[in-house]
Amino acid sequence: MLSIKLAWRNLIGAGLRTWLNVFVLSLSFLIIIWHKGIIAGWDRQAQRDTINDEIGGGVFWHKNYDPYDIFTLVDAHGKIPEKMQTEIKKDKLSPILITQATIYPEGRVQTILLKGIIHSQTVVNIPTAKLSTNMEEIPAVIGTKMAKNNNLKVGDVVTARWRDANGVFDADELKIVEIFKTNVPTIDNGQVWIPLSKMQSMLQMPGEATIAITAKEDGLRKNVGSWIFKDHNYLLKEFKEMIKMKNFGGYVMWLVLLSLAWLAIFDTQVLSIFRRQKEIGTNIALGMTRGQVIKIFTVEGVMYGVLAAILAVLYGAPLLYLQAKNGMVMPEGSDEYGMAISDKIFPYYSFGMVLITATITLISVIIVSFLPTKRIAKMNPTDAIRGKVQ
Amino acid sequence: MNKKALISTQQLIKHYPVGGGKFTALKDINLNVISGEFTGLVGPSGSGKTTLLNILGALDVPSEGNAVVLDHSIGNLSHKQAANLRNMYFGFIFQTYNLLPVYTVYENVEFPLLLQKLSHTERDKAVKQALEWVGLTDKIKSRPAQLSGGECQRVAIARAMVKVPKIVFADEPTANLDAENSHNILQTMLKLNNDIGTTFLFATHDEKVITYLRRKISLNDGEIVDDKVI
């Protein structure tokens, strides 16, 4: 109790110097938590968008389908089994037929993935309803990035060329009927969505599909014949690895910030012990043990940490809350990151994350506060009283 | 009637390591100080005054021989016991005042009592009394930086006296003060010595202090060369 009282008195007595240290430390606290919040918010947003827009409750893959090997598409298609047909009728499964194709926007050659999807599906958030139209050309919807990269607008007509089931080249006109905004690049970049029935007839693959997306809420979740069910754990594995990597980057940043905080505390303590030698000697002369002096200095360091945490809450909590509510606008070009990232990220601060981060920071601050005080134990009080450098 | 010695040393020697050898700061010191004395260790710089004062004040230990203060053998005390002895029975006054710069006058004087774990009421009463002794009741909220040298030393005296110690060790208490302030300080200490009976032991070579002493122990090159009651 005495050491708390004296440490507090010393901190308050030091005035502006104390508050500067506390402010710098509170900034470290805040930035560490903010950065973790951004990563957590990104993780949540990206998972949610990927599920809503691309993978639903999981995806059935044709046994030959390999998304990383474009050449497998030639063989990765098959008749949709009866059991899956029933689900499709209930709009709990959305079959997609995929093939490689080429389009010629403004005379340039662009390799794309042509995807056939049922226009009435509601399993994923793609505006497929727009594909339900009678026109001479094949109606197509594309994402904003695809539109931007190829300078395509709604109403534009572009020639597409593909090979059918027999390997014969064929071509037709595609008409852009809708451009949709999505945060998931894998359904946007280089992708063109057309009606499934049209695609099946173009490729001479009636009743066939390459993959089938299940509804989020319920539906089939087990392999059906040669159709392999891939659940979230599998489909989001790569994404989770990427988040893990980003998190690792976050930990590095955390460590850098934490090191700055440690450095601030350590330097303050070392400087304090050096500058306050006379005070230390006087305290010992007045009847303090070295242990008591060490305790006071350590408590002072801890108080810096506690005050910084309180200050961080006072000015940081409203700031973090506002940002969590209004989101953080991502800079231009962030869509090139290769993973689902929206224009705005809403940081997510869980109580556990804030508590664990603050606790780890505080504990490390306590340790760092204590380390330099070991010099006190080696001090000769008679030299310290005179302020003699030791 | 023979009074019991508060301080007693027998063949006290103090060495310091210097380079590969050693420097002897005190040689064969034999000394007795009884309660209520107003005594000075007098001598030029390097004569061993401060070293002896530090040993008697339990801030240092003898290399050889014995120093007994208030029935405690200084050389045999643990850090904790030495701290307790200083806290309960000793007061210190330093040449450079050694006030805690971030504390107010009141807090500086209160500090030794906090270590004694006295209640707030007891502390408050004692601090006000001590500040009254040194005539600084109007500066209670000032910080050392706002005080003159004389006032700072008076605060240091109040801090030393607030716990009514058995012995006050004063190391060159007037060295940083002008003549007028020096006399004021010495009169204050003499008054406390007379009124409360606290023993004062000075280390000084200041003539102004020497005129106030009732006993002068002269040191030269670490040896007592003269010891006389004035």
**Residues on A contacting B at a C-beta cutoff of 8 Å:** 2, 5-6, 9-10, 12-15, 278-279, 281-282, 284-290, 292, 381-382, 385-387
Amino acid identity for residue A102 in this structure: T
Report ipTM for this prediction.
0.89
B102–A9 C-beta distance less than 8 A:
yes
B103–A9 C-beta distance less than 8 A:
yes
Q: Does B89 touch chain A (CB under 8 A)?
A: no
Q: Which range among A7-21, A79-93, B59-73 shows the weakest confidence by mean pLDDT?
A: A7-21
The CA–CA distances, whole Å, from A36 to A40, A332, B22 equal 6, 22, 60
The pLDDT tens digits of the residues spanning A178-216 come to 999 988 888 998 999 999 999 999 999 999 999 999 998
* Whether pLDDT at A341 is above 80: no
Q: B144: which chain A residues are within 8 Å (Cβ-Cβ)?
A: none
CA dihedral of residues A313, A319, A325, A326 (deg, nearest 10): -170
At A249, give phi and psi (nearest 5°).
-60, -40
B195's CB contacts (< 8 A; 6+ apart) are: none
pLDDT value for A43: 83
Q: B102: which chain A residues are within 8 Å (Cβ-Cβ)?
A: 9-10, 12-15
β-bridge mates for residue A227, sequence order: A62, A224
Q: Report the C-alpha gap between B6 and A374 in whole angstroms.
A: 35
Question: Binning pLDDT at 50, 70 and 90, where does residue B177 land?
Answer: confident
β-bridge mates for residue A101, sequence order: A112, A162
Q: Report the C-alpha gap between A153 and A95 in whole angstroms.
A: 27
Residue of A nearest to B163 (CA): A286
CA distance A278 to chain B (A): 7
Q: Does B40 touch chain A (CB under 8 A)?
A: no
CA distance B32 to chain A (A): 22
pLDDT value for B84: 94
CA nearest neighbour of B151 among B203, B120, B108, B196:
B108
What average pLDDT does the structure give for chain B? 91
B114–A5 C-beta distance less than 8 A:
yes
Question: Binning pLDDT at 50, 70 and 90, where does residue B2 land?
Answer: low
A285–B115 C-beta distance less than 8 A:
no
The pLDDT tens digits of the residues spanning A343-354 come to 778 888 888 888
Residue of A nearest to B160 (CA): A286
Q: Which tokens is A131 given?
A: 């594909």
CA distance B171 to chain A (A): 11
Query: DSSP letter at A224?
Result: B
Q: Report the C-alpha gap between A99 and A76 in whole angstroms.
A: 9
pLDDT value for A99: 96
B80–A287 C-beta distance less than 8 A:
no
Domains of chain B in start order, with CATH, are 5-229 (3.40.50.300)
β-bridge mates for residue B42, sequence order: B204, B218
Mean pLDDT over A317-329 rounds to: 86
B112–A287 C-beta distance less than 8 A:
yes
pLDDT value for A336: 57
Alpha helices in chain B (DSSP H): 49-56, 79-89, 105-115, 120-133, 149-161, 179-196, 207-210
The pLDDT tens digits of the residues spanning A122-147 come to 999 999 999 988 888 999 999 999 99
Q: Does B98 touch chain A (CB under 8 A)?
A: yes
Q: Are B145 and B97 in contact (CB under 8 A)?
A: no
Mean pLDDT over B14-42 rounds to: 92
Mean pLDDT over A91-118 rounds to: 94
CA distance A22 to chain B (A): 17
pLDDT value for A21: 81
Q: Report the C-alpha gap between A171 and A309 in whole angstroms.
A: 65
Q: Where are the domains of chain A?
A: 2-51+239-385, 58-230
Mean pLDDT over B17-22 rounds to: 86
Alpha helices in chain A (DSSP H): 2-13, 16-50, 82-89, 144-150, 196-203, 232-235, 237-275, 277-285, 290-311, 317-326, 351-370, 374-377, 381-385
Alpha helices in B70-161 (DSSP H): 79-89, 105-115, 120-133, 149-161
* Whether pLDDT at A355 is above 90: no
CA distance B135 to chain A (A): 22
User: Percentage of chain B surpassing pLDDT 70?
Assistant: 99
* Whether pLDDT at B1 is above 50: no
Q: Report the C-alpha gap between A112 and A92 in whole angstroms.
A: 27
A2–B98 C-beta distance less than 8 A:
no
Q: Does B54 touch chain A (CB under 8 A)?
A: yes
Q: A381: which chain B residues are within 8 Å (Cβ-Cβ)?
A: 59-60
